[in-house]
Structure 1
Amino acid sequence: MKIYREKKTISSEMGNQMAEAAVKQAKQLGIKINVAIVDEGGLLVHFRRMDQAPILSIEIAQNKAYTAIAFGLPTHEWHPLIRNEPALREGIVHTPRLVVFGGGFPIKIGEEIIGGIGISGGSADEDMACCQAALSLIQ
């Protein structure tokens, strides 16, 4: 009887490659971003801050990555889930590290979450585009 399973996780090297892809996309969009890559437990694996990226966005990027792995949902999917539920909408946003706008995605191999990516510095759509550029290395 097998009592363990092999665990997949995001490596620091892959995190670096993903950050590079995100930064390349950000340069094409003309924005400055912060990129956070976390493992499946929400611990930081790789972080990249472009020169002159917003300082406040450092923590937001990390929280987007954490939110994405904590529930297995991209951060942009949160608002539609809570917008018509006043008690949930007004209460859950006080949860530490929860971000309910675009720019955070789980990193998956098949259905298994191996990490998360969070990007902050542009608009939600720009941050999401940078995430998609990074995720294209996995998919």
Structure 2
Amino acid sequence: MANSQNSTVTYHAVSQDAAEAVIAAGMTSAKEIGSPISIAVVDPGGWLVSFRRMDKGVAGGVDGAIEKARSSAKFQSSLADFEKLADKQSYIGNLPGLIPLGGAEPLTVDGEFVGAVAVSGATEDVEQKVAEAAAKHFNS
């Protein structure tokens, strides 16, 4: 029989309220830049916790934000890191579930990964800036 202390794993996840605050911070940043975006927050398993599409945000940004957030969660990393690697190592873009584009950042609490935020529907530079602003709001 398995020892009950060794048979379960617990983890923390971003809460609904925190996800909403992350999205609000991202939307504020996007408004300041003047770019309507879609923004998604997922838990550590990549499951959607919250999502918003700004008025006039492009339809393609919806799936883009959600899938980039899932990709960031799967690899528990900033997708911008993989974007830089993909420039030098083309096979990076072929890894299952990895989207090597900027605009997705991990969310952490005391160094523990609890989810990810991602932005889509603008230029990659804008998406990265908004994602960083949203993650900074959470991680601060």
Structure 2 residue corresponding to 1:84, chosen from 81, 88, 97: 88
- Residue 10 in 1 paired to residue 14 in 2? yes
Letter in 2 for 1:102: G
Give, in whole Å, the separation in 1 of the partners of 2:37 and 2:77. Answer: 21
- Residue 133 in 1 paired to residue 133 in 2? yes
- Residue 123 in 1 paired to residue 113 in 2? no
Deviation track 1:63-102 (CA, whole Å, cap 9, x = no partner) reads 111111111221111122233334x14x616x4x532111
Deviation track 1:84-138 (CA, whole Å, cap 9, x = no partner) reads 334x14x616x4x532111011111233211011101221121111112212222
- Residue 21 in 1 paired to residue 32 in 2? no
Give the aligned partner of residue 102 of structure 1.
Answer: 102
Give, in whole Å, the separation in 2 of the partners of 1:60 and 1:109. Answer: 25
- Residue 50 in 1 paired to residue 38 in 2? no
Name the % identity. 26
Give me the CA root mean square deviation: 1.9
Ranges of 4+ aligned residues in structure 1 off by more than 6 Å: none
Give, in whole Å, the separation in 2 of the partners of 1:82 and 1:121. Answer: 21
When the two structures are superposed, what TM-score results if normalisation uses the length of structure 1? 0.87
Give, in whole Å, the separation in 1 of the partners of 2:22 and 2:33. Answer: 17
Give, in whole Å, the separation in 1 of the partners of 2:127 and 2:87. Answer: 21
Give yes or no for contact 1:105–1:131 (8 Å, CA) kept in 2: yes
When the two structures are superposed, what TM-score results if normalisation uses the length of structure 2? 0.86
Following TM superposition, by how much is the alpha carbon of 1:6 offset from its aligned partner in structure 2, in angstroms?
4.4
Contiguous gaps of at least 5 residues in structure 1: none
